[in-house]
Amino acid sequence: RPLLDPSPPLPALFASVGFSIFAFLAALYLIPALGPTFVKANLKGRDLLKVYSDPIPESQGLVCASIYILLLILFIPFPFSNSVGSLPDSGKTLEGLQGVASLHHELSIYLSSLLSLLMATMLGFLDDVFDIRWRHKLPIPIIAAIPMLMVYYAEGGNTHVVIPIPLRRFFGVLVNLGPLYYLYMSLLSTFTTNSINILAGINGSEVSQAVIIAMSVILNDLLYLPWPIDFKIPLHLLGSQAEVEVGGAWHAGMAYGSSELVDRHLFSLYIMLPLLGVCLGFMYHNWYPARAFPGDTLCYTTGMAFSVVGIQGHFSKTLLLFFLPQIFNFVLSCPQLFGLVPCPRHRVPRFDPDTNLLYASKVLFLRPPSKTASFVLRIMSSLGLTALTTHPSNGTILEATNLTVLNFLLVRLGAMNEKRLVQMLMATQVTGSLLAFVVRYGLSGLVYDG
């Protein structure tokens, strides 16, 4: 595609939509068809929140990831072949050489992303099979992110952040974070891969988070495409505050030509659309009452896909805004994740078979909690984040509800059935995304000059 042509290559975008519909249908068909094969390979789990104990095929995210990655590979010729064809004498003229260089660059972005996705899928599947310990699996997404970080480095990716207006007196307008910026990006991949996995355990929870985040990213990408003239006004408004480099920071004015910006969001669409397709197909079977479980494979693959578009599309901070419920769940979980409060193997809500309702599950203190733990739990309880059972006479904490968003919702809103709870979780995710758009396009003008 010629360098300065700002219109999107429509055939590739249409192909991507076609591939996504195919991904949806493939997941819809293959998930139940391969279920028995998974059960036979001992990849099965019991639904903890049901009366029945039939084995449910587990880690069928592997089917989703396989469909997804294979389609991403089959898609490669579409955005990349016509660019070469359309260049006159690609090897000879300056324009031709620039075109070839930019093609190689975009291809390396795409291929490194595939590598990271494959690593994440492998890690997810290994985790399903071997139940890898936290301290062993945490560093792996960091390593999985290296290929795409190298590509970011090779393109001279910026490591500057724009300082909000009130703080500029101390730091200036731009601060170069250098290697710290790379550390931030690699931690991003650890966060996106794990954060969906720990907001899990009820039918439809993992995949619905992925669906809503993917839809939010797609919506955000669409804002950057050069729509026909009627839509130009909002696009122009966005352009003036576009999150273009310097360093993926909110930056006033378009630093690069608009075609660069369009390309990044097109890339993001190519990665997100088939993900949405495959997830919607899977969701049909994972919806209450679930006939298939995602396993960690689905959480890791989708999480890595989000990191890939956030980093390569240079909108990692906007992406993090779409993860507000996951950030909240992670902060809430910290006392249990870092061992201050005991963390049982499963923190899913408690199921009462008589009423068919879910209640917040509790962690029982066999020994009285430490001073620090008691202090933290009491603060959390006063904020309404957990419910405590205390000893009637001396007030020591005997029980606390598990520190997850699902239990938090049950503590605040009372017992409800599983389907209702997953709908509440989805509503929370949608609200988070709406808030994200307000913050990104409304409020950022207050702290950054637009």
- As a 3-state breakdown, the chain gives helix, strand, coil percent values, each rounded to 5, of 65, 5, 30
How many of the chain's residues bind ligand UD1 (CB under 6 A)? 18
Return the sign of the alpha-carbon dihedral for residues 21, 23, 26, 30. Answer: negative
Contacts with Mg ion, 177-206, as mask; x by CB under 5 A: --------------------x---------
Residue 390 and residue 76: Cα distance in Å, rounded? 60
Q: Does 100 bind ligand UD1 (CB under 6 A)?
A: no
Q: Residues touching Mg ion: how many (CB under 5 A)?
A: 2
Q: Which is nearer to ligand UD1, 241 or 329 (CB)?
A: 329
d(CA 83, CA 433) in angstroms, rounded, equals: 35
Q: Which stretch binds ligand UD1 (CB under 6 A): 27-35, 264-272, 341-349, 423-431?
A: 341-349
**Of residues 158 and 336, the one with the C-beta less far from ligand UD1:** 336
Binding mask 271-310 for ligand UD1 (x = CB under 6 A): -------------------x--x--x--------------
Determine the interface stretch with Mg ion among 217-225, 254-262, 289-297, 407-415 (rule: CB under 5 A). 289-297
Binders of Mg ion among 241-260, rule CB under 5 A?
none
* 348 belongs to the binding site for ligand UD1 (CB under 6 A): yes
Judged by beta carbon distances under 5 to 8 A according to partner kind, the member of Mg ion, ligand UD1, none in contact with residue 201 is ligand UD1
CB of 134 to Mg ion, least distance (A): 12
Return the DSSP state at 439.
I
- Stretch 417-436 residues interacting with ligand UD1 (CB under 6 A): none
**End-to-end Cα, the chain, rounded Å:** 31
> Applying CB under 6 A, does 202 fall inside the site for ligand UD1?
yes
Minimum Å distance from CB 348 to ligand UD1? 4
Give me the least distance between CB of 144 and ligand UD1, in Å please: 18
User: For 130, which DSSP code?
Assistant: H
Q: What is d(CA 194, CA 176) in angstroms, rounded to the nearest whole number? A: 28
For ligand UD1, which residue has the nearest CB? 45
Measured CA to CA in angstroms, residue 254 lies from 135, 229, 245, 435 at distances of: 42, 19, 8, 24
Pick the closer one to ligand UD1 by CB: 175 or 357.
357
Query: Cα torsion for 428, 430, 432, 433, to the nearest 10°?
Result: 170
Residues 6+ apart with CB under 8 A from 82: 1, 9, 11, 12
How many Å apart are CA 123 and CA 132, to the nearest integer?
Answer: 9
**Nearer of residues 318 and 361 to ligand UD1, judged by Cβ:** 361
- Binding range to ligand UD1, per CB under 6 A, among 14-22, 47-55, 108-116, 158-166: 47-55
Q: Which residues pair with 388 in a beta bridge?
A: 400
| 47, 243, 263, 296: residue in contact with Mg ion (rule CB under 5 A) | 296
CB of 286 to Mg ion, least distance (A): 13
| CA atoms of 356 and 389, how far apart (whole Å) | 24
With H, G, I as helix, E, B as strand and everything else as coil, classify residue 58: coil
Helix spans in 313-417 (H): 316-321, 324-337, 371-382, 405-413
Q: How far is CA 239 from CA 252, 254, 438, in A?
A: 9, 7, 16
Find the shortest distance in angstroms from Cβ 226 to ligand UD1.
Answer: 42
**3 state DSSP class of 415:** coil
With CA atoms as reference, report the closest residue to 193 among 276, 303, 111, 293: 303
Strand-pairing partners, residue 350, are: 359
User: What gap in Å lies between CA 83 and CA 77, rounded to an integer?
Assistant: 10
The stretch near Mg ion (CB under 5 A) out of 52-60, 139-147, 259-267, 296-304 is 296-304
- Name the helix (H) or strand (E) containing 46: strand 44-46
Q: Does 55 bind ligand UD1 (CB under 6 A)?
A: no
329 contacts Mg ion (rule: CB under 5 A):
no
- Look at residue 263 and give the partner it binds from ligand UD1, Mg ion, none, a contact being a CB closer than 5 to 8 Å depending on partner kind: none
User: Nearer to Mg ion by C-beta: 205 or 241?
Assistant: 205
Q: Is residue 346 a contact point for ligand UD1 (CB under 6 A)? A: yes
Q: Confirm or reject binding of residue 60 to Mg ion (CB under 5 A).
A: no
The token duo for 302 is 């989708």
Question: What is the smallest separation between the CB atom of 44 and ligand UD1, expressed in angstroms?
Answer: 8
Chain positions contacting ligand UD1, by CB under 6 A = 45-49, 58, 197-198, 200-203, 290, 293, 296, 346-348
